[in-house]
Copies of this chain bind each other. A is one copy, B any other.
C-alpha cells in the first residue's frame, strides 16, 4: 500500500474560549499545509471528521466550510461515526487514494464542544448510544458496567484503573498540545469524585475543543511515514446485545484486518495510541488489540509495561484522558501524533485505535517508517 502521511498538525486541545469552530478549521488547514510544505492547490479532496457541529455550533455542511478555505474548492465530505469519526475519515481518505481518484487528500478532524453547557454536551454525546440512553444510561455508566465486569471477572483493581490515568497524565506532560499538564498520584485518581461506579472523575476523558489534520498522499514525498494497514470493525450499539462484556469485538476485528494488511504482529509495534475515553477502555483496548492476554493488561500497565522502557508505549500523547478528546479530532490526532513521532525517529512502527460509542465502531491504523 502506497499511502504516505506527508503532513500533520495538532492544535492545542482544551477549553478554547477564544476560538470558534471556523477558527479551529482555519488553524488546522494552515498548520497542516505549513507542515507538509506543499501548495494548497495540491489538495485534491477533503475528508472532515466531526461528530456534532450541527448541535454544538449550529453549523452543518462542514465539508463545504473546510473546502472554502481553499481558493480551488476541493471536493469535500464529512464523515461521522460518533467518537470514531476521525478514524473513519482516515479510512475513507485511504479508500479514495487507493481508488486512484485522488493522489493527495486532507483529513481534518475538529470539534468545538464548549459552545454549549456541559449538560447539553452530555445529552448530545448520549445520542450516539443505543436504546440504553432511554433508560438513563450515559457513556460513563456504560463504561462503568464494562469496568465492573472486568474487575469481577479478571480481578482488575481500582488501583490498576488509576495507574492508566497516572501514566497518561505523565505522558501528556511532555505533549505541548495536551489539554492537561498536571501529574496525579494513584491516590488522587482513586479518591476523585465518583461518576459512575467504579469510574471516578479522573477516570474520564474531558470535554475538549480541538483540531487535528493530516495530509495523505500516494505521490512521492521526502516524508518518512507511511500507512501499513487499516481495519474497521463493528458491533452492536447496545451493550445489552453483546455476548461478552469482557471484550470489544469491533476492536478485535479491526486489529486483525490491520495486522493482516500490514503483515505484522503485535511484537512489531513500539507505540500505540488507544481510545481511552475512560481508564477501563485503555485496558480493554490493550487486550483486544492483542498486546496483552485477556485479563492481564491492567497489571501490566500498573507494572510500567505500557510506558517508555516497557513492552509497548500506550498513549504517548496522553491519550483522550490527558491530551483531551475533541471528539471528531481524536482519531485524526492519533495519526498526526504518531506520524510526528515516527518523523522524529522516536518509533519505527506504531498503531492507532479509535472507538465510537461503547465499542460499536472501531478503527485501527498501523503506521511505519518507510
Task: Please give the distance in Å from A320's CB to the nearest CB on chain B.
Answer: 17
Distance in angstroms between the alpha carbons of A74 and B232 in the assembled complex: 9
Chain A window 50-82, contacts with chain B (Cβ cutoff 8 Å), 1 for yes, 0 for no: 011011001111011101100001111111111
Q: Known contacts A74-B234, A124-B54: does B64 contact A361 (CB below 8 Å)?
A: yes
Q: Are B77 and A81 in contact (CB under 8 A)?
A: yes
Chain A window 347-362, contacts with chain B (Cβ cutoff 8 Å), 1 for yes, 0 for no: 0000000001100110
Q: Are B81 and A61 in contact (CB under 8 A)?
A: yes
Residues of B within 8 A of A129 (CB): 61
A91 at the interface (CB under 8 A from B): yes
Q: Which of B59, B64, B100 contacts A356 (CB 8 A)?
A: B64
Q: Which of B80, B94, B235 contacts A73 (CB 8 A)?
A: B235
Residues of B within 8 A of A54 (CB): 52, 54-55, 124, 127
Q: Are A233 and B75 in contact (CB under 8 A)?
A: yes
A88 at the interface (CB under 8 A from B): yes
Distance in angstroms between the alpha carbons of A21 and B232 in the assembled complex: 25
Q: Which of B51, B64, B232, B237 contacts A75 (CB 8 A)?
A: B232
Q: Are A79 and B81 in contact (CB under 8 A)?
A: no
Q: Are A61 and B234 in contact (CB under 8 A)?
A: no
Q: Which of B60, B82, B91 contacts A61 (CB 8 A)?
A: B82
Task: State how many residues of chain A have any CB contact under 8 Å with chain B.
Answer: 52
A260 at the interface (CB under 8 A from B): no
Distance in angstroms between the alpha carbons of A61 and B360 in the assembled complex: 9
Residues of B within 8 A of A235 (CB): 64, 68, 73
Distance in angstroms between the alpha carbons of A250 and B68 in the assembled complex: 12
A40 at the interface (CB under 8 A from B): no
A245 at the interface (CB under 8 A from B): no
8 Å CB contacts to B: which residues of A114-135? 124, 127-130
A220 at the interface (CB under 8 A from B): no
8 Å CB contacts to B: which residues of A135-167? none
Q: Are B95 and A58 in contact (CB under 8 A)?
A: no
A101 at the interface (CB under 8 A from B): yes
Q: Are B92 and A357 in contact (CB under 8 A)?
A: no
Q: Are B127 and A59 in contact (CB under 8 A)?
A: yes
A305 at the interface (CB under 8 A from B): no
| Closest B residue to A102 using CB positions | B95
| Closest B residue to A70 using CB positions | B234
Distance in angstroms between the alpha carbons of A267 and B195 in the assembled complex: 65
A39 at the interface (CB under 8 A from B): no
A270 at the interface (CB under 8 A from B): no
A243 at the interface (CB under 8 A from B): no
| Closest B residue to A124 using CB positions | B54
Q: Known contacts A60-B52, A127-B58: does B241 contact A68 (CB below 8 Å)?
A: yes
Q: Which of B52, B65, B73, B361 contacts A76 (CB 8 A)?
A: B361
A263 at the interface (CB under 8 A from B): no
A236 at the interface (CB under 8 A from B): yes
Task: Please give the distance in Å from A139's CB to the nearest CB on chain B.
Answer: 12
Q: Are B357 and A61 in contact (CB under 8 A)?
A: yes
A300 at the interface (CB under 8 A from B): no
8 Å CB contacts to B: which residues of A233-249? 233-237, 241
| Closest B residue to A97 using CB positions | B99
8 Å CB contacts to B: which residues of A194-243? 232-237, 241
